[in-house]
Amino acid sequence: MGLDEQRPNIADARLSRSARTRLRLLGSTEDNLSGTGSLSLALGQVVAELGALGGMIHVRDADHGGLRLLASVGLPDSLVAGWKVLAEEDSAIPASCLRYGTHIRTSPPPGDLHRPSAPSPGGSFATGLDPGVDELPRGSGMTSVPVVTAEGKTVGALSILADAPGDLSDAQCVFLRLVADWVAGQLRPARPAAADTGHAREPPGGHAVGSAMWQMNDGLLILDRDERLTFANATALRLLGSSAEEVPGAELWGHPVIRRTKMAASHRRAVATRAPVGFDTRWPGKAGWYHVRLDPVPDGLVIHIIDISERRERQAERVAAERTVAERVTLMGELTSALAEALTVRDVVKAVADRMLPPFGATGLICQIVENGQWRMVGSAGYPDHFLEIIHKLMVTDMSAIVRVLNSRSPSFLSSPQEYAEQHPDAVGYLYKSGMRAWAFLPLIASDQQIGYCAVAFSRPRHFSEEERSLLIALSGLVAQALERARLFDAEHTRAQQLQRGLLPRTLPVVPAVTAAACYLPAAEGMQVGGDWYDLIPLSGERVALVIGDVMGHGLAEAATMGRLRTAVHTLADLELPPDELLTHLNDLVGDLGDDFYATCLYTVYDPTTNVCVFASAGHPPPAIVDPDGTTHFPDVVPDPPLGAAIPPFETHEVHLPDGSLLVLYTDGLVESSTVDIDEGMARLAQALTRAATPPSEPPDRVCEAVVGALLPEQSETQDDAALLIARAWSLPCDQVVSWSLPDGPIAAAEARRRVTDQLSRWNLDELSMTTELLVSELVGNVVRHAKGPIRLRLLYGRTLICEVSDGSLTTPRIRRAADTDEGGRGLQLVAALSQRWGTRFTATGKCIWTEQILPPHAVPSPVGPR
């Protein structure tokens, strides 16, 4: 008799007088009622005795599974509609009562959530996970007791709706149980009574064939040759709303129900063709679908009316399932394609959320993978933030649902919160905060290595079919492979970016006549690193080299090539090579790397003593020049082919930069894209520079930020690396640069010493006079002995004291080791010892030997700027 074997009798002292009277009333009428009439009577007595708002009786549907509403009292149709059919695994109150075989009541507030691992026999528990509670009137509560037969089989549930949630008293519980027992007795099979067949009665005669025709579930109508109704069985009478006494001799086609169907037209066709005619129709006043078949017979017409509602429902379900499968296959194909195209871990998670969740009706996703022995959440969707904060704080080893999946390397499917709580009690404290009602935990295994797990969640309880389980397991393998590939790509991309940024200058050198700023913007996430680079290199004579380049292609090889080119430029710049010769050497270097390597490069040299900028370009866009008044223009030059494809010599160009002008070097990623050609991009760059360079005192770093913000408002939109180098050029003050022509012959050294002494005295650098006189004497003496005129001496007072001696010879001086007996060969050794550094560069008329000396701290001049 179910979980509670001890049934109290009607004389139980706890029962009130009215309760005993109602039970006696039910007992006296059980032989006179059948069908839903008896159940409605029982519900009415329960509602009246307990002061409830209404009640329902659900029974187990043996044919289709689940629970079916059999009777209700006191409840509006709008509320009852949601409770007509319930799945057995549903968390609704009647379903839980039937599943556990015990008294169930609605939940307390979520803060008092209590879910025991299993209900004890005869006990009760509250469930806080019931979706049906949301459909009840505010402030009301529901209580259900199981309906158990004499054989101990739970066949249904009796539920009442009270105006407030809470437990019943002992007497009320006893009464409710006794009524449920009485209902169980009424649910036994019984012969249909006249009240259940629409006032029909079995026709006299009662022979076997007639009895079978009368009791058959299908409606049966027989017409004679005159189209008069001669027979209608019980089912047909219910459909017509007539009694058996009204049938003989009645005219069927004039019946109000028949007139609302297609039967008259089908009858005419059947009579004309003498062949059966059938059609499907909605029956007036009835729910569902019916199939009507008219069969002509020699003596008249036989009409079968068959209820095909279930068949139509199954057919609709099959069509819907087939459509769902087709849609799912399509979406799964899209998911496979999206996973194949996903490069980064973020791309993979987004593809899963966009393509995998919708086909299954899933609403939540969590993906975690193991990296270097640590768990990392790589993506989530559909979960509230406060729940994700809980997951972030929990260790994976503290969540038994995940531990089971990881240890078994097998998926786990949990169809409801009750099932989750039963199998994993550790999750009860935070489970209800997730907002989810069903879960599929899938291990992520790639190359036989477990890399993490993926949790797909649903907002309603769900039964996972075998097809869905197999499909989810198969898809988890695809996701694992995609995540592993994406993780390797992310690692390589990170290493390449670190390599590239390590090869770029961390800070730009500080030089007297130029203030510069630069920025590098990598391509959007998912793109490989490129070979864009820039540099600022101090040269002798306070000159500055500004260089920018772009190795064609993306990847580690291109980033490494960029590093080699930058190193080579530094080495060649130290040799004081002019721009065209420097590019010639770079071209040879790129050509030695192979036929697949190409690079563009723009090399410029700015001389602050003349305000002249000399540059050469190998396939690179020309520099932009912003005059002090904000006008932006590009030198009208034709660049030579890129490095690796060029045939030297390279052409050299000169431009004059007014004091305070901006010299702007950039790569094509800043001005060119798939939607913007380079001419349009350069025009946009000019406009952005003009706006950003106003006023003219704006520092280069702010100009750089403004230009990038105007041309690339969202970095994610860039598909190529971009580099930008902006330098504001100033001239050295006239009083910090002096030069003299010296006579040929031995008197040149004495004249040089006199000039130097006088000038250093004017600059208050007398403490450097002796050293400078020695340096000048050696440099001028070498020219007199080994070179030819004209001889020229120049002093520059900048960040250091620079002394330059120029002549008309192309012979390069070099330090040599002098033997003990040699009378000469020690001059350049003395120069190297007395100066901070020294060197030689070639000029248009010969060469220049220069030295640099450190200034005393008190003598360092102020930075060059607006004057």
User: Considering the domain boundaries, does residue 159 fall inside one?
Assistant: yes
Nearest-angstrom CA–CA distance, 594 and 850:
39
Q: What is the pLDDT of residue 29?
A: 67
Q: State the pLDDT confidence band at 245, using cuts at 50, 70 and 90.
A: low
Find, among 825, 827, 843, 847, the residue nearest to 835 by Cα.
Answer: 827
The domain that holds 670 is classified in CATH as: 3.60.40.10
**Has residue 6 been placed in a domain?**
no
| Sign, CA torsion 742/743/748/750 | negative
Q: What is the pLDDT at residue 30?
A: 60
Residues 33 and 53 in one domain: yes
- What number is the average pLDDT over the span 489-516? 80
Domain shared by 345 and 419, yes or no: yes
The pLDDT assigned to 194 comes to 36
User: Is 412 a member of any domain?
Assistant: yes
Res 415: pLDDT: 93
Is the distance from CB of 19 to CB of 187 less than 8 angstroms? no
Q: How many domains does the chain have?
A: 5
Together in a domain, 677 and 819: no
Q: Which helix (H) or strand (E) holds 184?
A: helix 170-186
Provide the 8-state DSSP code for 746: T
Question: How sure is the predictor about 797, in pLDDT bands with cuts at 50, 70 and 90?
Answer: very high
Among 713, 729, 745, residue at a domain's last position: 729
Q: What is the pLDDT of residue 8?
A: 42
Nearest to 554, CA basis, from 580, 523, 533, 521: 523
Per-residue pLDDT, 247: 67
Cβ pair 154, 146 in contact under 8 A = yes
Are 261 and 362 members of one domain?
Answer: no
Cβ-proximal residues to 752 (8 Å cutoff; 6+ apart), any chain: 740, 742, 776, 777, 780, 793, 805
pLDDT of residue 550: 92
> Between 318 and 547, whose confidence is greater?
547
CB atoms within 10 A of CB 240: 23
Angle, helix 556-574 to helix 466-503, in steps of 10 degrees? 0
pLDDT tens digits for 455-494? 999 999 999 988 888 888 888 888 888 888 888 877 777 7
For residue 719, name the pLDDT band (cuts at 50, 70, 90): low
pLDDT given for residue 653 in this prediction: 96
Measure Cα distances from 24 to 10, 19, 175, 182 in Å.
8, 9, 12, 11
* Stronger pLDDT, 330 or 717, i.e. the higher one: 330
Q: Is the pLDDT of residue 605 over 60?
A: yes
User: What per-residue confidence (pLDDT) applies to 534?
Assistant: 93
Kindly report whether the global pTM for this prediction surpasses the value 0.75: no
Q: pLDDT over 70 for what percent of the chain?
A: 85
What CATH number is given to the structural domain containing 753?
Answer: 3.30.565.10
Instruction: Determine, yes or no, domain membership for 318.
Output: no
Q: Is residue 28 part of a domain?
A: yes
For residue 753, the model assigns a pLDDT of 92
What confidence score (pLDDT) does residue 411 get? Answer: 93
Pick the last residue of a domain from 186, 216, 245.
186
303-307, 369-373, 632-636: range with lowest mean pLDDT:
369-373
pLDDT, tens digit, for every residue of 276-305? 888 888 888 888 888 999 988 888 889 989
Same domain, 529 and 675: yes
Give 166's pLDDT tier (boundaries 50, 70, 90): low
More confident position, 447 or 849: 849
Q: How confident is the model at residue 850 (pLDDT cuts 50, 70, 90)?
A: very high
- The answer to whether residue 57 scores a pLDDT higher than 50 is yes
Among 152, 186, 220, identify where a domain stops: 186
Q: How confident is the model at residue 825, as a pLDDT?
A: 55
pLDDT of 657 > 90? The answer is: yes
Q: Grade residue 826 by pLDDT with cuts at 50, 70 and 90.
A: low
Average pLDDT over residues 70-88: 82
CA torsion sign, 500 to 502 to 506 to 508? negative
Residues 380 and 489 occupy one common structural domain: yes
User: Are 184 and 145 in contact, with CB atoms under 8 Å apart?
Assistant: no
Q: What does the pLDDT look like over 175-215, one tens digit per residue?
A: 999 999 888 888 765 433 333 443 444 443 444 566 667 77
The full DSSP string for 83-116 is GSEE-TT--SHHHHHHHHTSEEEE---GGG----
Same domain, 261 and 340: no
Is pLDDT of 670 > 50? yes
CA dihedral 676, 682, 685, 690 (to 10 degrees): -140
Least confident of 232-236, 395-399, 817-821: 817-821
CATH number at residue 173: 3.30.450.40
- CB burial of 84-102 (b: ≥16 within 10 Å; e: otherwise) equals eebbebbbbbbbbbbbbbb
What is the pLDDT, as a whole number, of residue 724? 94
Rounded Cα distance between 106 and 167, Å, is 9
For residues 568 and 705, state if they share a domain: yes
Both tokens of 866, joined, read: 């607006």
Do the strands 103-106 and 124-127 form a parallel or antiparallel pair, or are they unpaired? Answer: parallel
The 10s digit of each residue's pLDDT in 542-598 is 999 999 999 887 777 777 888 889 999 999 999 889 999 999 999 999 988 877 789
Residue 10 placed within a domain: no
Same domain, 681 and 740: no
- Asked if residue 153 and residue 34 are part of one domain, the reply reads yes
Query: For residue 311, what are its two tokens?
Result: 């068949």
Percent of the chain at pLDDT > 90 equals 29
Structure confidence at residue 637 (pLDDT) = 92
Average pLDDT over residues 724-728: 94
Cα–Cα distance measured from residue 257 to residue 241, given in angstroms and rounded to the nearest whole number:
8
Are residues 180 and 103 in contact, defined by beta-carbon separation less than 8 angstroms?
no
The whole-angstrom separation of Cα 106 and Cα 449 is 46
How high does pLDDT run on average in the chain? Answer: 82
pLDDT for 190 equals 41
- In 3-state terms, what secondary structure has residue 21? helix
- Inform me whether the pLDDT recorded for 695 exceeds 50: yes
Instruction: Give the span between the Cα atoms of 554 and 556, in whole angstroms.
Output: 7
- Hey, what are 730's tokens? 């100033």
In the prediction, which pLDDT does 716 show?
A: 44
| pLDDT higher at 607 or 244 | 607
Query: Is 379 or 641 the better-scoring residue by pLDDT?
Result: 641
Q: Pick from 163, 175, 189: which is nearest to 13 by CA?
A: 175
The average pLDDT across 600-611 equals: 95
Dump pLDDT digits (tens) for 85-141: 888 888 888 888 888 888 888 754 343 333 333 343 344 444 443 444 445 677 778
Full domain range(s) for residue 573: 509-729
Instruction: Mark out the alpha helices in 715-815 (DSSP H runs).
Output: 747-762, 769-786
* Contact between 247 and 324 (Cβ < 8 Å): no
Residue 122: what pLDDT? 43
Least confident interval from 311-315, 525-529, 781-785, 838-842: 525-529
Residue bearing the bigger pLDDT, 813 or 182: 182
H-run or E-run covering 172? helix 170-186
Whole-angstrom distance, CA of residue 77 vs CA of residue 157: 19
Q: Are residues 166 and 179 in the same domain?
A: yes
Q: Is 139 left (phi over 0), alpha (psi -120 to 50) or beta?
A: left
